[in-house]
């Protein structure tokens, strides 16, 4: 069964045809995700989410012969989103040092130093990138909301957010030869 026929059968409600697509494309998708994500479990979760999104949106695929490229774009977008969420959590965790009474004074000072470093790096970002990162991370606004608020396009919001995160990652990454 070729791609077009399998897709037509899936859209007609035949579950077995979807299993054909799963068997045909899961291996290459998983290999790509394993090289993009840090661990096997993350790659498997993203693969599962990829197939769910593909199933939900299969009727929108205009060119059945481009199924593999379409699946790869879904998978890689989900992997990038997972990376961003992980970095956003790191930023949120750094927002304020935790004081649970069990932390030693040295650990608390280290957390405060890390927070000060993060704030300094945020302050060093270009103004637009700083605004967009702040609105996304601290206020959880969508790119559409940020675009309206700042009078920019959604694409500009996404670009500024991406560029801001990249600068922060570079600035906060441990330097070579220095213990992490």
Is residue 178 included in any domain, yes or no?
no
In the predicted model, what is the mean pLDDT of the chain? 82
User: What pLDDT band is residue 106 in, cutting at 50, 70 and 90?
Assistant: confident
Contact indicator for 18, 10 with CB cutoff of 8 Å: yes
Give the pLDDT score at 26: 95
Domain end: 25, 60, 87, which one? Answer: 87
Give the pLDDT score at 96: 54
Give the domain range for residue 13: 3-87
H-only helix segments in the chain? 3-11, 15-36, 40-57, 67-93, 105-124, 127-137, 143-150, 154-172
Is residue 179 included in any domain, yes or no?
no
Q: What secondary structure letter does DSSP report for 141?
A: -
Domain identity same for 123 and 163:
yes
Give the pLDDT score at 176: 44
Contact indicator for 77, 69 with CB cutoff of 8 Å: no
Domain end: 32, 63, 87, which one? Answer: 87
pLDDT at 19 over 80: yes
Global pTM value: 0.52
Q: Choose between 147 and 98: higher pLDDT.
A: 147
Total residue count of the chain as it appears in this document = 180
Give the pLDDT score at 102: 56
Q: Average pLDDT, stretch 136-165?
A: 88
């Amino acid at each position: 069964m070729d791609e077009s026929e399998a897709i037509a059968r899936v859209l007609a409600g035949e579950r077995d045809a979807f299993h054909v697509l799963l068997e045909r494309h899961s291996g290459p998708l998983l290999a790509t995700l394993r090289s993009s994500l840090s661990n096997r479990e993350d790659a498997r979760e993203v693969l599962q989410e990829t197939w769910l999104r593909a199933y939900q949106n299969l009727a929108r695929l205009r060119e059945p012969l481009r199924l593999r490229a379409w699946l790869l774009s879904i998978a890689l977008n989900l992997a990038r989103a997972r990376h961003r969420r992980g970095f956003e959590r790191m930023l949120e965790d750094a927002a304020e040092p935790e004081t649970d009474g069990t932390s030693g004074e040295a650990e608390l000072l280290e957390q405060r130093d890390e927070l000060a470093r993060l704030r300094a790096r945020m302050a060093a970002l270009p103004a637009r990138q700083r605004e967009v990162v702040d609105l996304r991370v601290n206020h959880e606004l969508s790119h559409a909301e940020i675009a309206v608020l700042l009078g920019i396009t959604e694409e500009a919001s996404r670009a500024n957010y991406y560029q801001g995160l990249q600068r922060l990652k570079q600035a906060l990454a441990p330097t070579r030869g220095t213990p992490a």
